[in-house]
Amino acid sequence: MNGFQNIPFNWLEKIINLAAERIVLVNRQGIILYINTAYCDFIGTTVDWAIGRHIEDVIENTRMHIVAETGRAELAAVQSINGSEMIANRFPLIIDGELVGALGTVMFSNPEEWQKYQRKIQSLVDELAYYKTRFEKELKSKYTFVDLIGSSTDFIAAKKLAERVAGSQSSVLLLGESGTGKELFAHAIHSGSPRASFPFVPINCASIPDHLLESELFGYEEGAFTGAKKGGKKGQFQNANLGTIFLDEIGDMPLSMQSKLLRVLQEKEVQPIGSQQSIPIDVRVIAATHRNLEKMVQEGKFRQDLYYRLNVIKIDIPPLHKRKADIPIISLHLLEKLAKKFYREELSLSPEVIQRLQSHMWPGNIRELENVLERAINVLDGKTIELFHLPLYLQDVAEDPKDTQFEGQTTIPLSPLKDTVAQAEMSAIRRALAVTKGNKQEAAKLLQISKTSFYDKCKLYNL
């Protein structure tokens, strides 16, 4: 039974008027069988007068009778009515395989209406294009193997291994202290892989609260939990589909999430929170950590099966203090980058500064070196960075005969108390960071100060 039989005629007419503002229906001969009030108001006539008349007698410049005869639709056609250009659609009406007439609708009654609609649509198109470009730009790798600077034996070995496995589909595990450039290696591996034209999605597992990590990685459905966005949210694994996902600080991932991650890697599919369906994915995983994962496995803090799944190709990135011969060339490379940031030209390092940088242990590695150089540029008047431009903890304390006291044969140089206190604090902070392998929260606990105070001092001393 036809469901429309249960709908009153006046309801159907109201539905038609709501669905299309202006509508007209003709038979094969071009006689108007139906026209709604909105159309009649538009052309300046009445329904009672129009019905039963030929379409050409009612609507100027019409082609409805031609469509009813030929059976060929005319979409988005421009038609002049009442001295204005309107845009109309004309559809042949075919019932049980037979052409019986034509249906016409007015999309825009005048150019202003069309232009208003076009402006609205164009703004949405422009906005979509902006976010698409931004999304693609942010999800592209930023570095290649050319950006990996150094000539020390261990570094060259790590770089060559990374270049060799870039074309593989296997998981990669990057090991190294904080600030050694693990993310740069991940970017370069993706850039050198067949997936280079697809997304590169970096995730810092340590920076995302445990209760948000699952939804961030795997997404969620609408209504999955209180506060879930309307329409749900795609997870980062879906965003990285066909590309690479970089899981930085994988050693900080809670055990509960490790098991879910393992399932994703094994099954090659994700299940958003609140969904009953799994979504297939094709993603290469690069993971990184400064922690000793083998020790964590022994202590039950990291899943052994996940460790084996990630540790297909292991690359050890040497710390800066083991590649001191590279410090001059790395410093110059960083200076070039910082010079663009600060709109400076031809910056250089004095021989004394190079020697001082090479004698430092660099517990913060390249990240610390970059911070030191940026600080120096901020206080630099000329073009050459000298010792006095460096942070206090990197400056040599000059001995002054007037500022010494003698205890037997021992000479103890004196300096202002505030400098002595600053150097002591910096030394303690650096040792704490070295012990905790860059973990600032743990370092603050070791020094028995609040996390806020620790961060403030790090900022003060440019650590």
DSSP alpha helix (H) spans, 240-342: 255-267, 293-298, 304-310, 327-341
Quick check: pTM over 0.85? no
Residue type at 307 in one-letter notation: Y
Q: Are the C-beta atoms of 254 and 267 separated by less than 8 Å? A: no
Residue type at 408 in one-letter notation: G
Residue with tokens 């693990």, as numbered in its chain: 182
pLDDT value at residue 31: 96
What single-letter DSSP state applies at residue 170?
S
More confident residue, 87 or 326: 326
Other C-beta atoms lying within 10 Å of the C-beta of residue 241: 17
Nearest alpha carbon to residue 393 among 436, 356, 365: 356
**For residues 214 and 256, what is the distance between their CA atoms, to the nearest angstrom?**
10
Each as own residue / partner, the long-range contacts of residues 455-461 (CB below 8 Å, 24 or more positions apart, any chain) are 457/425, 457/429, 458/429, 461/391, 461/392, 461/393, 461/422, 461/425, 461/426, 461/429
pLDDT value at residue 93: 92
pLDDT digits (tens, 9 = 90+) for 195-218: 998 999 999 998 888 888 999 999
Residue with tokens 């001059």, as numbered in its chain: 328
Q: Given a cut of 90, is residue 114 above it in pLDDT?
A: no
- Which tokens in the block code for residue 209? 């609260």
Q: Are the C-beta atoms of 189 and 183 separated by less than 8 Å? A: no
**For residues 227 and 224, what is the distance between their CA atoms, to the nearest angstrom?**
9
Q: Given a cut of 60, is residue 148 above it in pLDDT?
A: yes
Percent of the chain with pLDDT over 70: 85
Q: Find the mean pLDDT for residues 107-130.
A: 62
Nearest alpha carbon to residue 220 among 275, 270, 296: 275
Residue 70 binned pLDDT confidence (cut-offs 50, 70, 90): very high
Each as own residue / partner, the long-range contacts of residues 153-162 (CB below 8 Å, 24 or more positions apart, any chain) are 154/316, 154/318, 154/322, 154/323, 155/317, 155/318, 155/323, 155/326, 158/185, 158/315, 158/316, 158/317, 158/318, 161/313, 161/315, 162/188, 162/189, 162/315
Where are the strands (E) in 215-291, listed by range? 219-220, 233-234, 244-248, 269-270, 279-280, 284-289
Residues β-bridged to residue 189: none
Other C-beta atoms lying within 10 Å of the C-beta of residue 396: 12
Mapping DSSP to helix (H, G, I), strand (E, B) and coil, where does residue 301 land? Answer: coil
Q: Find the mean pLDDT for residues 270-277.
A: 90
pLDDT value at residue 14: 73
pLDDT value at residue 402: 41
pLDDT value at residue 133: 58
- Which tokens in the block code for residue 77? 């056609």
How many helices (H) and strands (E) would you count in the chain? 19, 18
**For residues 178 and 364, what is the distance between their CA atoms, to the nearest angstrom?**
6
Q: Find the mean pLDDT for residues 94-121.
A: 75
Residue with tokens 């008047």, as numbered in its chain: 381
Percent of the chain with pLDDT over 90: 52
pLDDT digits (tens, 9 = 90+) for 23-65: 999 999 999 999 988 888 888 899 999 999 999 999 998 999 9
Residues β-bridged to residue 87: 78, 108
Q: Given a cut of 80, is residue 168 above it in pLDDT?
A: yes
